[in-house]
Structure formats: C-alpha cells, structure tokens
Amino acid sequence: MVLTDGFRAVRAPVSVCPEFIKNFLVKSLDNPNFIPRLKMMDKKAAFPLLRSTFLPIPTNLIRTIHPDAIKDHARAFDDVVFDAYKHVVNDDVVMRTSYEFSTPFRHGGQGFRSLEKTSSIAYFSLVLNVANVLCDLDVGQ
C-alpha cells in the first residue's frame, strides 16, 4: 500500500492535506532569482516580462486550488508583483488601487490583476466548467 499526502497533476496539487498544498504553493510561487534579476533590467524588457512570464503560473494555480487554501499566498504574490512593478517603472506614487495599475490595456491601464481578488472567481468558474463536461460525459443519461 502506497501512502501519500498528495500528488501533482497538470502542474497543480491534488490533495486533501492542507500542509501538502501549502508546501506546493511555497515551492511554486517562490522564485528567488526572478524578481532581483528583473529589477536590474531595462524597463522596456522588465515590464512585459513581469506580466507575461511571472503571472501565468499562479494564474493557473488559482483555478485549481480552493480560494481558502491560496488566499495568503495570493496576497503575498500580489505584494511581490506590485513592488516589482513600482521598482521597474520607478514610481513611488502609484498605489495598488490606482486606475493605471489594474485596468486592462484596452481601457488604458497596465493590465495587472490581483490573484487574491480573482482566485474565487477563477476557481468556481473551473468547477462549473468541469461539472458541465462531466455532465456531458455521463453515460447514464
């Protein structure tokens, strides 16, 4: 008999053990070399790299992990992203609630979204999508 606290499937933790999920999130969201190197780069390279390379991994995770389990990690990640953004654009005045920070490009903003604020929506959207797929696959109908 094999005992485990959980496993990874499609780059997401599958477990009922909160400690396994917490450890997975710490390993997944902690990239100690990325932000310091990003802060040394030119603004024109660092800015899109922050958004296009650093954000997609946790954006996938918030769809697969219950919001209660990821809330603190998402908040910490949001802090790291915002601090890096302020450093890259050299702006100490901008706030996280500023229009230009979180508004989508098409509305004149920078397009940064908060993982903490979107985790519930993303997770329950995935749950509903999976429910529809499973309903379609149900052979008993």
**pLDDT at residue 85 above 60?**
yes
15 assigned to some structural domain:
no
How far are the Cα atoms of 51, 78, 81, 94, 137 from residue 110, in angstroms, in the given order?
A: 9, 15, 12, 12, 40
- Domain range for residue 29? 22-137
16 assigned to some structural domain:
no
How far are the Cα atoms of 40, 53, 128 from residue 26, in angstroms, in the given order?
A: 24, 18, 27
60 assigned to some structural domain:
yes
Q: What is the pTM of this model?
A: 0.83
Structurally, how many domains does the chain consist of?
1
11 assigned to some structural domain:
no
Q: What tens digit of pLDDT does each residue of 17-42 get?
A: 889 999 988 888 877 888 899 999 99
The whole-number pLDDT of residue 68 equals 92
53 vs 90 pLDDT, higher one: 90
Residue with tokens 């499609």: 10
8 assigned to some structural domain:
no
